Amino acid sequence: KAGVTQTPRYLIKTRGQQVTLSCSPISGHRSVSWYQQTPGQGLQFLFEYFSETQRNKGNFPGRFSGRQFSNSRSEMNVSTLELGDSALYLCASSYSGGLNTGELFFGEGSRLTVL
Amino acid sequence: AQTVTQSQPEMSVQEAETVTLSCTYDTSESDYYLFWYKQPPSRQMILVIRQEAYKQQNATENRFSVNFQKAAKSFSLKISDSQLGDAAMYFCAYLKSGGSNYKLTFGKGTLLTVNP
């Protein structure tokens, strides 16, 4: 069974640009979550999608947005990039077939550098 | 808001020895889950062990076990017979119980080094 796939793995952008990151969950998994990982703040929850609907949202500005498609693939977008957006962005999927037990399956992440 | 604190930024252990990683958390909820996730240098995080707050028995997964002290809000991870492959960043995480809640709160992590 293929794992969670994130693309691109590495990217470099300049301030003011926008970026779109993609995540393909494990087959059959319907919940996709996004986390930002930085050395200073650690892992912070961005949002979670289930059946194309955002169910949970973290405390990030509106420049951070996401969506989920009918095949459960998800994208996140960051507009008007700032230097502080440089981070590893992790996607995680979960089955969500019943009561959430918290086991997430993570991708390897997309490393974003903003210059 | 829930918080998770890992007071040891770095730890080291000799191969085959035992090491304990500490985690404390703060919550007003009575029903929740606690986790230890491992992030090796390749960066893909994997679940090591999970504890349901309503269970008094400490969770165990092979060489990994936890010491869950609900009243003290403490959740430590013990790794026995440490192996070189255990070297990684370890994150303690909290999840409020609830069917549609998927927001995990993570600690800042403990970097574990295993010396041969």
Q: Is B28 on the interface with A (CB under 8 A)?
A: no
Q: Which of A44, A56, A98 is nearest residue B102 as measured by Cβ atoms?
A: A56
Sorted by sequence, the CB contacts under 8 Å of residue B67 that are 6+ apart come out as: B20, B58, B74, B75, B76, B78
Residues of B in contact with A96 (CB under 8 A): 102
* pLDDT higher than 80, residue A98: no
Where are the extended beta strands (E) located within chain B? Answer: 3-5, 10-14, 19-21, 24-26, 32-39, 46-52, 60-61, 64-69, 74-79, 88-96, 105-106, 110-115
**pLDDT tens readout for residues B21-75:** 999 999 998 889 999 999 998 778 999 999 999 888 899 999 999 999 999 999 9
**Best to test chain B binding among A9, A74, A104 (most B CBs inside 10 Å):** A104
B111 contacts chain A (CB < 8 A): no
> Around B41, how many Cα atoms within 13 Å sit in the side-chain half-sphere?
6
Q: Which residue of A has its CA nearest to B31?
A: A101
Any A CB within 8 A of B40 CB: no
Section A27-40 average pLDDT: 92
Q: Among the listed ranges A25-29, A88-92, A102-106, which one has the minimum average pLDDT value?
A: A102-106
Q: Which of B89, B92, B116, B104 is nearest to B13 (CA)?
A: B116
Instruction: Find out whether A56 and A44 touch, Cβ atoms under 8 Å.
Output: no
Kindly determine whether residue A42 and residue B99, on different chains, have CB atoms separated by under 8 Å. Answer: no
- At residue A99, the pLDDT reads 52
What is the least distance, in Å, from the CA of A95 to any CA of chain B?
A: 11
